[in-house]
Structure 1
Amino acid sequence: MKFAVLVFPGSNCDLDCYKAVESTIGQPVEYVWHTATDLSSYDCIIVPGGFSYGDYLRCGAIARFAPVMGALVEAAAQGKTIIGICNGFQILTEAGLLPGALLRNQTLKFRCHSTMLKVENNNTTFTSEYAAGEEIDIPIAHGEGNFYCDEATLRELELNNQIVFRYAGENPNGSVGNIAGVCSKDGNVLGMMPHPERAVSQLLGSEDGVRIFKSILNTWREKHGAAAIG
């Protein structure tokens, strides 16, 4: 399975994502610069965290118009696996690949610490290795992680089981419904504010993020008739 990690001016979690793929599932992974226009050779595309284009105008607002985004929209339509983390989540909402928007944290402060999440939906490409309702430790690092959508969209997300992660315990940013991550209707695109790539070793405080990468790989292997990894 071949992974791409997109890199925008201002990305700062691209290296973390690259190393997480390399260390947890040992699959081929490449950096892809924001000027690329072809993602056809990749099976999974990671849109990493950071401050793309300095977060000018609005988080993800400029990155949404980068040349690579046309290829990303095409990849999503083809059913390829896409995960946007933190600023990557913001970019995916700006591009219309996921519903809702990410607003300033209610505290108006940057929050950077360990956070407990509840796995709301374990029947996705990204969460098949977790138990339903399991609580996992995944850190956050954001100033604009307050997920917002209107009541009609929230009802639709709940009806379609698109809410993948919720904050368990404290809601660190004021997100509606304690939402920490959502997926697209067809389930191949995930956006989440917490950073699973920073939770792949006990040396980092948690290895609960490993199973996101294993879930992605095992789902792909199942589709291609290959053996799953443990």
Structure 2
Amino acid sequence: MSIAIVQFGGSNCDLDVLHVLRDVVGVDAELVWYKEEDLDRFDGIVIPGGFSYGDYLRAGAIAARTPIMNSVRKQVEAGKPVIGICNGFQVLTESGLLDGALTTNNYPKFRCEPTYLRVETTETPFTTGFKKGEVLNVPIAHMEGNFYADEPTLARLEQNDQVTFRYVDEKGRVTDEANPNGSQENIAGIVSTQKNVLGMMPHPERASEDILGSADGLKIFKSMAEYISGR
């Protein structure tokens, strides 16, 4: 098993993901520069957080148009699991691999803080290790994390069980106060129609060891690895 971690100019969470995959989960992982055009040798892909190309134009807009995203699309079509974290989520929406868009936080400032997430579905390669309704403590770090989609798209996401995580309070309740960026329906993460592409704004790699204050995000990477092992 080998998982690619895509690097763009401005990525800054790539080494964190590499550490979690290699040293905590115990799988082979490799940093891959954005000019790579062949990802066939990998079993899964992570697009990490950061500020690719300085968020010029729109967050993720330039990265979504680099050569490697054609390779990512090919792996998605082959059914391989792909996760985009924070800026990676923005890249996935900009590339059309996920629905919706990430816009400026309703209060337009960078927010870096712990958040609570509720697991909305376990029917994805990334959430099989959780129980539905489980509440996780996973931090955010973004200025453009406000998830937007039109009403038909939101209805389709709900109907198809594609909403994966929501911002909630400590007791698992969906409230305005628990929503750090104004995302519609408190959405923190979604999957593609085929369920093998996950985008989420919170950073599970920053909540994968107890020394960090929470290891709740570790199950996301473990679930992904177990899914790959079972393919």
- Common topology (TM > 0.5): yes
The answer for unaligned runs of 5 or more in structure 1 is: 224-230
Whether 2:51 is the aligned partner of 1:46: answer no
Partner of 1:148: 148
Moved over 6 A (4+): none
1:116–1:168 Cα contact (<8 Å) kept:
yes
Measured in 1, the distance between the counterparts of 2:33 and 2:217 equals 25
Cα deviations by residue, 1:140-166 (Å, 9 ceiling, x for unpaired): 000000000000000000000000000
Measured in 2, the distance between the counterparts of 1:40 and 1:84 equals 18
Partner of 1:218: 226
Alpha-carbon shift at residue 10 of structure 1 (Å): 0.3
2:117–2:166 Cα contact (<8 Å) kept:
yes
Measured in 2, the distance between the counterparts of 1:220 and 1:69 equals 21
Alpha-carbon shift at residue 222 of structure 1 (Å): 2.4
Partner of 1:27: 27
Partner of 2:136: 136
CA RMSD of aligned residues (A): 0.7
Report SS of the residue matched to 2:42: coil
> Percent identity over the alignment?
53
Partner of 1:182: 190
Measured in 2, the distance between the counterparts of 1:188 and 1:75 equals 10
Whether 2:97 is the aligned partner of 1:97: answer yes
Alpha-carbon shift at residue 99 of structure 1 (Å): 0.1
Measured in 2, the distance between the counterparts of 1:10 and 1:40 equals 25
Measured in 1, the distance between the counterparts of 2:65 and 2:51 equals 15
Measured in 1, the distance between the counterparts of 2:23 and 2:118 equals 25
Q: Report how many residues are paired.
A: 223
Alpha-carbon shift at residue 23 of structure 1 (Å): 2.2
1:24–1:213 Cα contact (<8 Å) kept:
no
2:4–2:31 Cα contact (<8 Å) kept:
yes
